Structure 1
Amino acid sequence: MLVSMHDDPPILVCADLQVEYLTPGRRHVIRDGDATTARCLELLTLWRSNLWPVMHLKRIAQAAWFNPSSRLTDWIAKTRPQPGEMTFEHPLPSAYSSSRFGGHMSAIRTTRCILIGFSLDETILATAVEGFHRSHRYHVITDAVACRQLGTDDAAAYRHAVVDVIANFATVQSSAELIRTSGAVAV
């Protein structure tokens, strides 16, 4: 189904676009983080230029490896939320661990969301699964999501496996599939 920009557009949900994931030597560094950030920025720019709704998720885990007072939890500069864009901090992998996020999602008419960003194997996976159980429709954009490299030599195979799991709970598509023609978003 194609939705024109004048209809009810889906919500762009930017997951965990934080400095932590781009800092070399950090446990959660993402190898292809710059490419993913660039694709996220393209989609974020499209949503902002059309004044479509944008939400930002920020993981604030209390684990020893994740210090919420560190500058590493700051937003990536170019993806920082702008006035009018909602932000939700979540302590557990799912965005629904934020009672504000869960309440907001339950209250809005549109529950079609485009998920982009980092933490593919944590925040994006957990949010898509929990959203599925709440009848919220998520679309995960494969070229605008990334996850850390776990002690594996084949990070691409790991990422592919995570995307395959997510496909059981959300629509999986590329940004080209999402944006079919100028002024239309396929959902």
Structure 2
Amino acid sequence: MLASIHEDPPILVCADLQVEYLTPGRRHVVLDGDAVTARCLELLTLWRGNLWPVMHLKRIAQAAWFNPASRLTDWIAETKPRPGEMTFDHPLPSAYSSSRFVDYMSNIRTVRCILIGFSLDETILATAVDGFHRSHRYQVVADAAACRQPGTGDAAAYKHAVVNVIGNFATIQSSAELIRTSGAVAV
């Protein structure tokens, strides 16, 4: 099914675009952080330029590495939510762990979301799975999503495996495909 992106744009969901994930030496530092951030900014600029809906998810866990008082949980400056953009804090990996997020998603007409950002192996995966079980449709932009470095093994293989798992619950797309769809987005 193709829907006109201009008539009924999907919500761009920016997952956990926080300083924590780009700080060298941190446990949750992501792979290809600069490249993924650039792709996220490109998509965010497109959505903002067209005044399409944007949502920001922010992981605020109780664990020591996500101390809410720390500056590490701050938004990356360029991706900071603007007035009119929705924000949801979530304590567990899935955005559905936020009761406000659940309320919002259950009250919109058609749930079509494009997921980008960090914690591919946590927030993006968990949100796509939870959304799938609620009949919400998600697309994940694989090259605009990053995951933490695995403890052992090949990092690229780890990301590829996570993307393959997410593909069971959401559509996988590249940022180039999304940008050049000429007014239509497959949902």
TM-score interval w.r.t. the shorter chain? over 0.9
Question: Does residue 52 of structure 2 align to residue 52 of structure 1?
Answer: yes
Contact 1:177 1:186 in 2 (8 A): no
| Greater shift in the superposed pair: 10-19 or 64-73 | 64-73
- Matched residue, 1:149: 149
Aligned partner of residue 26 in structure 1, secondary structure:
coil
- Matched residue, 2:96: 96
- Matched residue, 1:70: 70
1:93-142 alpha-carbon deviations (Å, 9 max, x no partner): 00000000001000001200000000000000000000000000000001
Aligned partner of residue 157 in structure 1, secondary structure:
helix
TM-score with structure 2 setting the length: 0.96
| Greater shift in the superposed pair: 132-141 or 172-181 | 172-181
TM-score with structure 1 setting the length: 0.96
Alignment-mate amino acid for residue 32 of structure 1? D
1:93 and 1:41 map into 2 onto residues whose CA distance is 22
User: What displacement does 1:152 show?
Assistant: 2.1
Aligned partner of residue 69 in structure 1, secondary structure:
coil
Give identity over the alignment, percent. 85
User: What displacement does 1:66 show?
Assistant: 1.5
| Greater shift in the superposed pair: 13-22 or 1-10 | 1-10
1:48-107 alpha-carbon deviations (Å, 9 max, x no partner): 000000000000000122211100000000000000000000000000000000010000
- Provide structure 1 residue ranges, at least 5 long, that are not aligned to the other structure: none
Alignment-mate amino acid for residue 176 of structure 1? A
Alignment-mate amino acid for residue 110 of structure 2? T
| Greater shift in the superposed pair: 73-82 or 177-186 | 177-186
- Matched residue, 2:169: 169
Moved over 4 A (4+): none
1:160 and 1:152 map into 2 onto residues whose CA distance is 15
Question: Does residue 41 of structure 2 align to residue 41 of structure 1?
Answer: yes
Alignment-mate amino acid for residue 143 of structure 2? D
Alignment-mate amino acid for residue 45 of structure 2? T
2:2 and 2:17 map into 1 onto residues whose CA distance is 28
1:182 and 1:132 map into 2 onto residues whose CA distance is 27
- Provide structure 2 residue ranges, at least 5 long, that are not aligned to the other structure: none
User: What displacement does 1:175 show?
Assistant: 1.3
The number of residue pairs the alignment matches comes to 187
User: What displacement does 1:184 show?
Assistant: 3.7
User: What displacement does 1:176 show?
Assistant: 1.9
Aligned partner of residue 65 in structure 1, secondary structure:
helix
